[in-house]
Amino acid sequence: MAEGDEFLVKPDPGDERLTRRVQGMDQDQVEVATSVTMERPLTLFLNAQEVVTMMTIGDYPEYLAVGYLLNQNMLVSRGEITAIEFDPEIDTVVVRTGDQTDFEDKLKKKTLTSGCAQGTVFGDLMERFESVELAKGAVLRTSWLRSLLKKINTAPSLYLEAGAIHGCVLCQKDRPLVYMEDVGRHNAVDKIAGYMFLNDMTGDDKIFYTTGRLTSEMVIKCVQMGIPILVSRSGFTAWGVDLARQAGLTLIGRCKGKRFLTLAGNERVLFDSDGAAENGPGTGER
């Protein structure tokens, strides 16, 4: 199987809706044309009630909407959803359920997090977080990690085309499965959560890779998806580390080339490759 065929979903830098060419001038006073990432508002409704307006690149709105509601504890089971309606003319997505929800009470308890744009966590999310049991038998081989970094970093992406974007990838062993990008890392996470939810995909044997910081929000969302291993090329926050240790999540950061640092769940990491091996193409910092 070719590397490009490994992805079930991957970025499409050729999608004209997602980037725009802009004229500018460089440091040598030379006029240049460059690609810049688009962002547009997407208003989410749950039944007849407006929930939030998110700034997003605009791809996969249905996955984003469902993932957002799921990660905010407004949805529990797939059977609740009766319809998902996206209207590109007014940038609105409506998720319909059979019964009205109690999310108005949840909105009163919301607190801001360190996520870009409008990431939020509701006060009762910790109850769900504390009830999740992550797969204890899951492992991450260092050979898988090196292979994943190469495949992810060499895949065509909006990051390589225009920058100013975060990426998240759902992986299994050394195969990247679902690669989502967005202007806010929480949006990219929610798209993957929505994809998993709507495709009945479990997280027990998965690895989650992100370009963003390993914050409390990232840890909470990863645990809610049932994924036992979280990897980032970026660094950690103290609360993110504390929550990972509490949940039994393997937390790996500063992952660039042959280097990485594990601050929680060390027992899942199996060292089956040479730590001194040379970096292959695309395994360095992006």
Q: How far apart are CA 31 and CA 144, in angstroms?
A: 43
Q: What predicted TM-score, i.e. pTM, was given to this entire model?
A: 0.87
Contact 180, 12 (CB under 8 A): no
Name the average pLDDT for the chain.
87
SS3 for 147? helix
| Helix, strand counts (H, E) of the chain | 8, 16
Torsion angle of C-alpha atoms 106, 108, 112, 116, degrees rounded to 10: 60
Domains of the chain and CATH, by start: 1-286 (3.40.140.10)
Contact 224, 203 (CB under 8 A): no
**Of 184, 161, 134, whose CA–CA distance to 35 is shortest?**
161
pLDDT tens per residue, range 158-215: 999 998 999 999 999 999 999 999 998 899 999 999 999 999 999 999 999 999 999 9
One-letter amino acid of 10: K
Q: How many other CB atoms are found less than 10 A from the CB of residue 246? A: 13
The more confidently predicted of residues 113 and 153 is 153
User: What distance, in Å, lies between the first and last C-alpha atoms of the chain?
Assistant: 25
Q: Quick one: DSSP state of residue 156? A: -
